[in-house]
Amino acid sequence: MNTSKLVMAAAALSISGTVLAGGTHGDGNSAVSGEPGKASDAARTITVEMYDNYYDPESIEVKPGETVRFVVENKGNLVHEFNIGTPAMHEGHQKEMMMMVEHGVIQGGKLNHDMMEMDMGDGQSMKHDDPNSVLLEPGQSEEVIWTFTDKSNIEFACNVPGHYQAGMYGEVNFN
């Protein structure tokens, strides 16, 4: 409960672009994965294809401060996510995604969009509209524009239950 609240708070903070200092405990990594970028700042486009259950490519190189336009295509038969974050953020988000499966939002290869709008109380819904991620049905394609601020331990990952654990993640290497 506490962690998911924390993660949600962290997500909210990252939306407003506020710089967070070390939200995770002890691992010395900054909890910041960057911030939403402007299309005009993106000098580079990276196409990321999603399959059942892996990414192609499985690692990308970025420079600190670089803004990248990701074109994410779901070429698999299942719903997949492309989410930029630290391992701890992904772990927190996996609980939310589990909830989405339990409530029938994610149904294997389909998304129940009505259910995503549903009022969960406390002003929450399961819209899955954070700017650091997209959740795509098979055949769909969307863009994520992201600015990688500082060097940190960042992965792009699919947090649909079981997918991250099976290895659906990719490394973001800073150079």
Partner 1 sequence: MKRSLLAGLLTLLMPALVLAGEYDLTVDRVKIDTGDFVKEGIGYNGASPGPVMRFKEGENVRINVTNNLDEMTSIHWHGLILPFDQDGVPGISFPGIKPGETFTYEFPIQQAGTYWFHSHSGFQEPDGAYGAIVIEPKGREPFRYDEEYVVQLTDKHPHSGDRIMRNLKMMPDYYNREQQTVGEFFSDASKNGLMNTIQDRMAWGDMRMMKADVEDLQGFTGLINGKGPEQNWTGIFEPGERIRLRFINSSAMTYFDVRIPGLEMTVVQADGNNVQPVNVDEFRIGVAETYDVIVRPKDEQAYTIFAESMGRSGYARATLAPEEGMEAAVPQMREPARLTMADMSGMSGMDHGDMAGMDHGNMDMSGSEGVSDMDQSNMEGMDDSGMAGMDHGSMAMGQDGSGDPFYAKGSGLMPMAASSCPTPT
Give min distance, CB of 12 to partner 1, in A. 27
User: What's the CA gap between 103 and 87, in Å, rounded?
Assistant: 25
Could you say whether residue 167 binds partner 1 (CB under 8 A)? yes
Using rule CB under 8 A, residue 95 touches partner 1: no
78, 88, 106, 157: which one binds partner 1 (CB under 8 A): 78
Least gap, CB of 155 to partner 1 (angstroms): 12
CB of 163 to partner 1, least distance (A): 6
Residue 18 makes CB contacts below 8 A (sequence gap 6+) with: none
Asked whether position 58 contacts partner 1 by CB under 8 A, the answer is yes
Handedness of CA 6, 8, 9, 11 (dihedral sign): positive
53 upstream amide cis, omega within 30 of 0: yes
**Residues between 97 and 136 with contacts to partner 1, criterion CB under 8 A:** 108
- Using the CB atoms, write b or e for 33-65: b if 16+ within 10 Å: bbbbbeeeebeeebebbbeebbbeeeebebeee
The residue range among 14-22, 46-54, 133-141, 144-152 that interacts with partner 1, by the rule CB under 8 A, is 46-54
Question: Which one among 6, 24, 162, 174 touches partner 1, defined by CB under 8 A?
Answer: 162
Residue nearer to partner 1 on the CB measure, 56 or 117:
56
51 part of the interface to partner 1, by CB under 8 A: yes
Q: What angle do CA 28, 81, 66 make, to 5 degrees?
A: 55
Interface with partner 1 (CB under 8 A), residue from 89, 97, 126, 168: 168
Interacting residues with partner 1 (CB under 8 A): 51-54, 58, 78, 108, 161-163, 165-169
